[in-house]
Amino acid sequence: MKPMAWNLLVGAWLIALCATLGALFIGEVMGQAPCELCWYQRIAMFPLAWILGIAAFRGRLDYDWYALPLTAVGVVMAAFHTLIYFDIIPEAIHQCGAGPSCSDTNAMQLFETVPIPLLSFLSFAAILILLLAVRRTNR
Protein backbone atom coordinates (compact mmCIF):
# COMPACT_ATOMS: atom_id res chain seq x y z
CA MET A 1 0.00 0.00 0.00
CA LYS A 2 1.30 3.45 -0.91
CA PRO A 3 2.03 5.78 2.03
CA MET A 4 -0.53 8.38 0.87
CA ALA A 5 -3.24 5.70 0.64
CA TRP A 6 -2.35 4.49 4.12
CA ASN A 7 -2.59 8.04 5.51
CA LEU A 8 -6.04 8.48 3.94
CA LEU A 9 -7.16 5.13 5.35
CA VAL A 10 -5.94 6.04 8.84
CA GLY A 11 -7.80 9.35 8.52
CA ALA A 12 -11.02 7.52 7.66
CA TRP A 13 -10.47 5.18 10.62
CA LEU A 14 -9.90 8.11 13.00
CA ILE A 15 -13.14 9.73 11.88
CA ALA A 16 -15.05 6.46 12.36
CA LEU A 17 -13.42 5.95 15.77
CA CYS A 18 -14.24 9.49 16.93
CA ALA A 19 -17.83 9.16 15.67
CA THR A 20 -18.23 5.85 17.49
CA LEU A 21 -16.75 7.15 20.73
CA GLY A 22 -18.81 10.34 20.38
CA ALA A 23 -22.04 8.39 19.97
CA LEU A 24 -21.20 6.29 23.01
CA PHE A 25 -20.35 9.43 25.00
CA ILE A 26 -23.64 11.12 24.05
CA GLY A 27 -25.66 8.04 24.93
CA GLU A 28 -23.88 6.69 27.97
CA VAL A 29 -22.27 9.71 29.63
CA MET A 30 -24.66 12.49 28.69
CA GLY A 31 -27.68 10.18 28.96
CA GLN A 32 -29.18 11.33 25.67
CA ALA A 33 -31.27 8.50 24.20
CA PRO A 34 -30.81 8.04 20.45
CA CYS A 35 -33.79 8.17 18.11
CA GLU A 36 -34.58 5.35 15.70
CA LEU A 37 -32.62 6.87 12.82
CA CYS A 38 -29.63 7.38 15.12
CA TRP A 39 -29.68 3.67 15.94
CA TYR A 40 -29.54 2.78 12.25
CA GLN A 41 -26.60 5.13 11.73
CA ARG A 42 -24.82 3.57 14.70
CA ILE A 43 -25.32 0.14 13.11
CA ALA A 44 -23.44 1.44 10.06
CA MET A 45 -20.75 3.44 11.93
CA PHE A 46 -19.67 1.13 14.75
CA PRO A 47 -18.34 -1.68 12.52
CA LEU A 48 -16.44 0.89 10.43
CA ALA A 49 -14.21 1.70 13.40
CA TRP A 50 -13.16 -1.96 13.56
CA ILE A 51 -12.97 -2.65 9.82
CA LEU A 52 -10.96 0.46 8.96
CA GLY A 53 -8.71 0.10 12.00
CA ILE A 54 -7.80 -3.48 11.14
CA ALA A 55 -7.32 -2.58 7.46
CA ALA A 56 -5.05 0.37 8.30
CA PHE A 57 -2.85 -1.45 10.76
CA ARG A 58 -2.51 -4.51 8.56
CA GLY A 59 -1.92 -2.38 5.46
CA ARG A 60 -4.65 -4.19 3.56
CA LEU A 61 -6.90 -2.90 0.80
CA ASP A 62 -9.50 -5.67 0.85
CA TYR A 63 -11.60 -3.71 3.34
CA ASP A 64 -13.64 -1.91 0.69
CA TRP A 65 -16.07 -4.78 0.14
CA TYR A 66 -17.21 -4.20 3.71
CA ALA A 67 -16.54 -0.53 4.40
CA LEU A 68 -17.88 1.11 1.26
CA PRO A 69 -21.42 -0.35 1.48
CA LEU A 70 -21.66 0.51 5.18
CA THR A 71 -20.45 4.04 4.49
CA ALA A 72 -22.80 4.54 1.54
CA VAL A 73 -25.82 3.35 3.52
CA GLY A 74 -24.75 5.49 6.47
CA VAL A 75 -24.36 8.66 4.41
CA VAL A 76 -27.84 8.19 2.88
CA MET A 77 -29.45 7.59 6.29
CA ALA A 78 -27.61 10.53 7.82
CA ALA A 79 -28.59 12.81 4.93
CA PHE A 80 -32.23 11.78 5.35
CA HIS A 81 -32.00 12.38 9.11
CA THR A 82 -30.41 15.80 8.54
CA LEU A 83 -33.18 16.78 6.12
CA ILE A 84 -35.77 15.79 8.73
CA TYR A 85 -33.90 17.73 11.41
CA PHE A 86 -33.88 20.95 9.36
CA ASP A 87 -37.59 20.50 8.42
CA ILE A 88 -36.84 20.06 4.73
CA ILE A 89 -38.62 16.70 4.83
CA PRO A 90 -41.62 16.45 7.15
CA GLU A 91 -41.20 13.95 9.97
CA ALA A 92 -44.51 12.32 9.03
CA ILE A 93 -42.66 10.54 6.21
CA HIS A 94 -40.81 8.51 8.83
CA GLN A 95 -42.46 7.94 12.17
CA CYS A 96 -39.89 7.69 14.89
CA GLY A 97 -40.51 4.98 17.45
CA ALA A 98 -40.09 5.32 21.17
CA GLY A 99 -37.52 7.81 22.30
CA PRO A 100 -36.72 11.33 21.17
CA SER A 101 -38.09 12.77 17.97
CA CYS A 102 -35.80 13.11 14.95
CA SER A 103 -36.73 16.77 14.59
CA ASP A 104 -36.52 17.74 18.26
CA THR A 105 -33.83 20.43 18.25
CA ASN A 106 -33.24 20.21 22.00
CA ALA A 107 -32.62 16.46 22.05
CA MET A 108 -30.61 16.34 18.83
CA GLN A 109 -27.83 18.80 19.62
CA LEU A 110 -24.39 18.25 21.05
CA PHE A 111 -23.61 20.84 23.73
CA GLU A 112 -26.79 22.67 22.68
CA THR A 113 -25.17 24.01 19.50
CA VAL A 114 -24.16 21.35 16.96
CA PRO A 115 -26.91 19.17 15.40
CA ILE A 116 -26.07 15.48 15.86
CA PRO A 117 -27.64 14.42 12.53
CA LEU A 118 -25.39 16.92 10.73
CA LEU A 119 -22.32 15.59 12.56
CA SER A 120 -23.24 12.08 11.50
CA PHE A 121 -23.71 13.13 7.88
CA LEU A 122 -20.39 14.98 7.80
CA SER A 123 -18.61 11.98 9.36
CA PHE A 124 -20.02 9.48 6.86
CA ALA A 125 -19.39 11.86 3.94
CA ALA A 126 -15.77 12.43 5.00
CA ILE A 127 -15.18 8.69 5.39
CA LEU A 128 -16.69 8.02 1.97
CA ILE A 129 -14.53 10.70 0.33
CA LEU A 130 -11.39 9.37 2.03
CA LEU A 131 -12.14 5.75 1.08
CA LEU A 132 -12.71 6.72 -2.55
CA ALA A 133 -9.45 8.69 -2.45
CA VAL A 134 -7.64 5.61 -1.11
CA ARG A 135 -8.88 3.56 -4.05
CA ARG A 136 -7.85 6.26 -6.51
CA THR A 137 -4.44 6.87 -4.90
CA ASN A 138 -3.49 3.22 -4.73
CA ARG A 139 -4.06 2.46 -8.41
Q: What is the pLDDT of residues 4-25, one digit of tens each?
A: 888 999 999 999 999 999 999 8
pTM for this structure? 0.86
For 11-69, the three-class secondary structure string (H helix, E strand, C coil) is: HHHHHHHHHHHHHHHHHHHCCCCCCHHHHHHHHHHHHHHHHHHHHHHHCCCCCHHHHHH
Residue type, 135: R
Nearest to 94 by CA among 112, 75, 79: 79
Sorting pLDDT into bands at 50, 70 and 90, what band is 128? very high
> 73, 43 in Cβ contact below 8 A?
no
Burial 8-25 (b: 16+ CB within 10 A, else e): bbbbbbbbbbebbebbee
pLDDT for res 38: 86
Determine the average pLDDT of the residues in 12-40: 88
